[in-house]
A = this chain, B = another copy of it.
Amino acid sequence: MKSLTIGKVAGQAGVGIETIRFYEHRELIEPPPRSAAGYRQYPENTVQRLRFIRRAKELGFSLKEIKELLTLQSNPKTTCADIKQRAEMKLADIHQRIHDLEKMGSALETLVTACSADATSAECPILQALAEE
């Protein structure tokens, strides 16, 4: 069972060394055994775990939520429904954020359209809209 130094793990997982120590501190990964000199000795599956974290982040999960997912993952009593529920909540959250951004976007779009290039700032419909009583 060979072990990896933190630098090797970081390289293979595509994250920074500091990030790994940060994740250990945040309890997303287990504190690994140490060598006589105090060096962290990672089992190979740590690379997979870090990739799991990276992918979950890409799906929009926060580190806090990912920690929950990892805990669920390692619990044999966890059902697919438990995970699905989290994913659906995150999906709802994403849809809400899209909705908010679309609202912002269309409001801004209206103002941009109303704005003709060669007026002074005093006549600018964007600034006027922002300055309204």
Q: A residues within 8 Å of B by Cβ?
A: 48, 51-52, 55-56, 58-60, 69, 72-73, 75-76, 78-84, 87-88, 90-91, 94-95, 97-98, 101-102, 104-105, 107-109, 111-112, 115-127, 129-133
Q: Bound complex: CA of A119 vs CA of B59, how far in Å?
A: 22
A82 to chain B, nearest CB (A): 7
A98 CA / B80 CA spacing, docked (Å): 29
Establish whether residues A108 and B87, one from each chain, have CB atoms under 8 Å apart when the complex forms. yes
The DSSP consensus for interface residues of chain A is helix
Contact partners of A108 in chain B: CB under 8 A: 59-60, 87, 90-91, 94
In the assembly, how many copies of this chain are there? 2
| Cα(A69)–Cα(B130), bound, Å | 10
Q: Are A118 and B81 in contact (CB under 8 A)?
A: yes
Which residue among A82, A102, A121, A131 has the maximum number of chain B CB atoms within 10 Å of its CB?
A: A121
